[in-house]
Amino acid sequence: MQVREAMSSQVLVVGPEHTLRQAARMMSARGVGSAVVIDPDSEGVGIMTERDVLKAIGAGLDCDVERTGAHLTWDVVYAGPEWTVAEAAAAMARGGFRHLVVLDGREVAGVISVRDIMRVWADAQLVVPTS
């Protein structure tokens, strides 16, 4: 199965000037563990995860003051929509992260998470061969 079949194409996008609280509220409302951060003044796409928010709170930072642009990962490993789910899982395991931004060319096509991969693999195990 390819990443395009398993990813979420409904991506939460925030800007680098959103506060951590704003990003966390949007992530919570959508039931997602990450938000893609697009900064119109820079090249590339970043990602903010629930782990990034947790680290900031754990460090005692003010979530109403701190901006997403200061607490995200710009050094992102991107997946292509044609990757296999196994390739995405291997990239996550190598990098120690739970989300991959999926780029189709230079455009964000979606996000694939460990949860997406688990769902796909669990569904595949439920398929009973007919003979």
Give pLDDT tens digits for 24-43.
999 999 999 999 998 877 76
- With beta carbons less than 8 A apart as the criterion, state whether 91 and 79 touch: yes
User: pTM of the full predicted structure?
Assistant: 0.84
Measured CA angle at 38 (ends 36, 41), to 5 deg: 165
Burial of 65 from C-beta contacts in 10 A (0-12 / 13-18 / 19+): exposed
Name the token pair of 65: 């003051």
Exposure string over 10-28, b if 16+ CB within 10 A, otherwise e: ebbebebebbbebbbeebe
Identify the pLDDT of residue 42.
73
Does the pLDDT at position 60 exceed 90?
A: yes
CA distance 8 to 6: 7
pLDDT-based confidence at residue 44 (cuts at 50, 70, 90): confident
- CATH, range 3-126: 3.10.580.10
